[in-house]
């Protein structure tokens, strides 16, 4: 069994990939000005949203375009626990299937960019296909249309699950056959193609990355890009692959007596078996200098650092 993962730092890279000097051009600002952008994150209470929101509020990406706490609006469909409210604020309720509500939030908060994380993932989506259609298909269509109407840049993550059993398994290229066997994968192919259609038909600034499994950790972003170097709105990215026994060995450096046991879910395993073993991300590395910052050992060290010192996280 081979596990394919990338750290949350790749998402930060993706956001910088989306937010370069083009912001200044879109907003008709001279590039010498400092532009404060307003960003909306949908599905912000999920695996990626909280960590990304924290980093976006802290980091100045370049001298022309910067973010801050009040400029990053977190949103989701649940009421945050009291212990998280200060950390998430500004936060707003958003059901992504409600087009009118989405429009009002984009207008009232003066949103310039949308980072769209709201979706039902593979296994849950298979158990509730209609809900997955509502969120992953109609919700995505709503976001694209609102981004078009209000001239907002849009980033949507795709997935290794957008491929299927007929896709080349090793070093899967950016452009290849995509015949996924899950509703989640099908919805992500739809997102890629509809986003590229909006980009071609309406000039929407749409960006998309296909991600393998995500391991979250607080990281500092680096590198950069310019729009003219991009060959496609959708790129593969990849970082590291490892077996369960290899990650167990890495954990034993911190917990010497750690043991790993397996309880395999046949449905989930059949989904994972349809995915590629590795992604060819050479275009991302060439076009916008993507590079991963963690290997297995450094990732394990960082995760234990965060787990041992939870009070340091804000």
Tell me: the pLDDT tens digits for 57-114? 875 554 455 677 889 999 999 988 888 888 888 999 999 999 999 999 999 999 999 9
Please give the average per-residue pLDDT across 226-254, as a whole number.
73
Per the prediction, the chain carries an average pLDDT of 77
Of residues 314 and 270, which shows the higher confidence score?
A: 270
CA-to-CA distance for 71 and 192, rounded, in angstroms?
Answer: 27
pLDDT greater at residue 20 or residue 291:
291
Closest CA to 61 of 122, 119, 1, 19: 19
In this predicted model, what pLDDT tens digit does every residue of 205-228 receive, in sequence order?
999 888 776 655 433 332 222 345
- Contact between 50 and 44 (Cβ < 8 Å): yes
Which domains, ranges and CATH numbers included, belong to the chain?
A: 3-312 (3.40.50.720)
Strands 72-76 and 39-42: parallel
Cα separation, 256 vs 79, whole angstroms: 40
Has residue 19 got a pLDDT over 70? Answer: no
Res 219: pLDDT: 33
| pLDDT at site 51 | 80
Give 253-273 pLDDT, tens digit per residue: 889 998 888 788 887 777 777
Residue 6 belongs to what H/E stretch? strand 3-7
Active site residues: 184
Both tokens of 153, joined, read: 């840049």
Q: What is the pLDDT of residues 161-211, one digit of tens each?
A: 888 777 877 777 777 888 888 899 999 999 999 999 999 999 999 998 887
pLDDT at site 233: 63
- In percent, the amount of the chain with pLDDT more than 70 equals 75
User: What span, in angstroms and rounded, lies between the C-alpha atoms of 42 and 57?
Assistant: 15
């Amino acid at each position: 069994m081979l596990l394919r993962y990338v750290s949350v730092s790749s998402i930060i890279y993706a956001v910088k990939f989306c937010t370069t000097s083009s912001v200044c051009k879109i907003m008709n600002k001279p590039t010498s000005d400092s532009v404060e952008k307003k960003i909306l994150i949908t599905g912000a209470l999920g695996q990626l949203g909280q960590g990304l929101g924290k980093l976006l509020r802290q980091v100045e990406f370049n001298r022309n375009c910067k973010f801050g706490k009040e400029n990053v609006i977190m949103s989701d469909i649940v009421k945050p626990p009291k212990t998280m409210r200060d950390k998430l604020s500004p936060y707003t309720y958003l059901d992504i299937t409600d087009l009118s509500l989405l429009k009002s939030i984009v207008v009232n908060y003066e949103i310039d960019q949308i980072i769209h994380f709201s979706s039902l993932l593979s296994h849950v989506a298979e158990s509730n296909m209609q809900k997955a259609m509502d969120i992953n298909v109609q919700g995505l269509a709503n976001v694209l249309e609102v981004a078009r109407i209000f001239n907002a840049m849009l980033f949507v993550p795709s997935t290794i699950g957008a491929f299927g059993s007929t896709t080349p398994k090793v070093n899967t290229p950016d452009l290849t056959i995509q015949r996924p066997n899950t509703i989640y994968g099908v919805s992500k192919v739809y997102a890629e193609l509809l986003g590229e259609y909006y980009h071609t038909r309406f000039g929407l600034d749409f960006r998309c990355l296909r991600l393998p499994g995500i391991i979250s950790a607080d990281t500092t972003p680096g590198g950069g890009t310019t729009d003219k170097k991009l060959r496609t709105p959708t790129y593969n990215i990849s970082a590291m692959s490892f077996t369960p026994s290899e990650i167990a060995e890495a954990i034993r450096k911190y917990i010497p007596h750690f043991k790993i046991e397996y309880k395999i879910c046949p449905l989930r395993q059949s989904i994972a078996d349809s995915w590629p073993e590795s992604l060819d991300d050479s275009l991302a590395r060439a076009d916008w200098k993507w590079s991963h910052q963690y290997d297995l050992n450094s990732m394990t060290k960082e995760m234990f650092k965060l787990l041992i010192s939870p009070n340091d996280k804000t």
